[in-house]
Each structure stands twice: as C-alpha cells, then as structure tokens.
Amino acid sequence: MQIQILNKDKIFMENQFTFAVYADLPKSKGHCLVVPKKKVSSIFNLDSTEYLSLFHLVKEVKNLLSSRFKPSIFRIIMNNKGDNIKICDNAHISIIPKYKK
C-alpha cells in the first residue's frame, strides 16, 4: 500500500520508492524527513530494493544539506510508525543538521 502524500509541493527530492520533505516542526535549519512511499511500520519491512533506495536518498539529501546549510554534523534518526511521533504516520528517517554554537 502506498502512503497518501497530502502536499506534493513539499517534496524537494525523490526517487522511485522514497521522497524527502522538510520537517513542519524543524529542530534545526534543514531538518527533513526521508520517507518510503510504501506504507510500513518499520523500514525493516521494506524489501531490499526499497530499503537501499531509502538509504541512497538519505545520502543524497545529506549531501544537499551539507552544501546548502554547512552544518558541522548530522543526526540521523530512524523512526518507526507508532513511536509516539506525530511528524509522519509512516516509518521514516529524520535528518537533523547540527551547527556549532
């Protein structure tokens, strides 16, 4: 089952199985979500092709954020559906740039 994307204009990068959007409630400048298009409760429920596609896009997004925002490091967080997270009703990867103070 595919997830319903409510606002396709928010997608800034995608591939066949995955898309990336900036977080509605960002923890830092550039905070974004990389989300499988397939509805899953855990990214480990993706097949091998979908799983590799997800992490390929994570790397592409990280490279884009590096050049655009120049953070010092990144926090990469895997979130499962039902983790008491209201950001996204699907398993996803959060990419949170961190900056030196």
**Domain assignments of the chain as residue spans, ordered by start:** 8-98
Q: What pLDDT, on a 0 to 100 scale, did the predictor assign at position 6? A: 62
Q: What is the CATH number of domain 8-98?
A: 3.30.428.10
% pLDDT > 70, the chain: 86
Alpha helices in 3-95 (DSSP H): 48-69
pTM of structure: 0.88
Q: Which range has the worst mean pLDDT, 44-53, 65-74, 78-87?
A: 78-87
Neighbour order of strands in the sheet with 73-79: 11-14, 18-22, 32-36, 92-98, 73-79
39 φ/ψ angles, rounded to the nearest 5 degrees: -75, 115
Q: What pLDDT, on a 0 to 100 scale, did the predictor assign at position 97? A: 98
The mean pLDDT of the chain is: 89
